[in-house]
Homo-oligomer: A and B are copies of this chain.
Amino acid sequence: MQFQISTELIEKIQFLIEERNDEELLLHLEEVHHADIAEIITELSLDDATYLVRLLDSGKTSEAIMELEEGVRERILETLSAKEIADELVEMDTDDAADIMNELSPELQKQVISEIKDEQHAEDIVELLRYPEDSAGGLMAKELVKVNENWSVTGCMTEMRAQAENVTRVHSIYVVDDKNRLKGRLSLKDLLTAASNENIRDVYIPNVDYVTVHTEGEEVARIMQKYDLEAIPVIDEMRRLVGRITIDDIVDFIKEEAERDYQMAAGISEGVEADDNIFKQTRARLPWLLIGMFGGLGAAGIISGFQGSMAVFPKLLLFVPLIQATAGNVGVQSSAIVVQGLANGSLKGNIIAKRLFKEISLALVNGISIAIIVFIISSVWFETSYTESLSVGVALISVILLAAMIGTVIPIILDKNNIDPAVATGPFITTSNDVFGILTYFLIAKAILGF
């Protein structure tokens, strides 16, 4: 069943576009899923892609446009007129349309809105644009199926059929009162099995999960996952039902969050994609490299301060990279566990003491193991004296302990201050561990060797 985009297909389409053979093109692409149309568009030149978007039915292209990478979509939308963009938006669910609008300039937004003939749709999009993109209000769609608690089951079926025409997928039927306040929900299953002379009031489930327009996206994702919901209604300050969020949007949200955290840990901000341009990539990466650079210069300053003693114990300098690498690795491990625990909710409450205890125990096990191996290898291989080997070993244990503590405490503190703890992983934690690690190393060597 898998549809494969072959080079032949792309070439065929390029040929047909060149020939302006619209009939054949439409025939070829009629049965193709919009997600695959999006892949084809990505492979084409901008001119060909725009030609295809203009040619195909906007019911199909609107969905394909949603699937495109942001960069590709941006370039295509730039070539379309406000009227043409409006035609695409009309075919989209309101949440998708609002997402696209968010990518346009305020000027173009106004023009596009004025070109949307369906006033209700335009109004809905404008309403959604008011909410921050990552809030429940920004994630929700206006399309939903709702029934009044005072209706009968039979009346309800008729009304629902009409509403269902506008909704791609019916997950739940929401029950509201005369003032549009959310009262409960009804499953299609319940409706199918209910007697037709009953009233909605008698059959609906009053126990319904919901979020408000202000709930943060992360919290929405957490609730929907925890309670295995496929859709959740969104209410406003007056308890009025104003939209719903479906699980497919949350899947995208979770993936984006995970990718962002992953990149943050790797020292890349702004959520860049592999094919973003050099300027955007530099802006996302250079700042982190500069943090690392200043850390490296700080380390140079520390070594410089001990350079007199290093003339006496030159072999100590050999182990600086080892100390640094170990401090960095341990710090990243400890912080990753905490950041992930905070993100998936498995760490909560007053956890500093408990986590620190665990990380310190773990650091002792790992530290002592590594210190013994290094003690032996340095004595044998690098012919360090007993006190030099001891300095390196004790320093390793101390540095691992220190790195584990920094890696554990910093994300927790950031989280408590409502800063995304993920920024604490990657270059940030590595750099501070590098500097503290090297300082610790020389201080311990100084104490043991007495310089």
Contacts and interface: CB of A to CB of B under 8 A. Distances in A.
Interface of A: 1-2, 31, 33, 35, 67, 69, 157, 160-161, 164, 169-170, 188-189, 192-193, 207-210, 223, 225-228, 230, 247-248, 250-252, 254-255, 258-259, 261-263, 265-268, 272-275, 278, 281-282, 285-286, 288-290, 292-293, 295-297, 299-301, 303-304, 307, 310-311, 314-315, 317-326, 328-330, 332-333, 335-338, 340-341, 344, 346-347, 355, 358, 361-362, 365-366, 369-370, 373-374, 377-378, 381-382, 425-427, 430-431, 434, 438
A262 B336 contact: yes
Nearest to A365: B282
In the A-B complex, the 8 residue pairs with the smallest Cβ-Cβ separation, listed nearest first, are A296-B322, A266-B336, A258-B258, A299-B321, A274-B341, A300-B318, A292-B329, A292-B325
A136 B344 CA distance: 25
A290 B189 contact: no
A337 B274 contact: yes
A192 B156 CA distance: 12
A365 to B, nearest CB: 5
Nearest to A231: B230
A289 B322 contact: no
A297 B266 contact: no
A355 B296 contact: no
A273 B250 CA distance: 23
Contacts of A431: 325
Contact of A340 (B226, B263, B373): B263
B340 A259 contact: yes
Contacts of A382: 300, 304
Given A164-B189, A248-B228, A366 B289 contact: yes
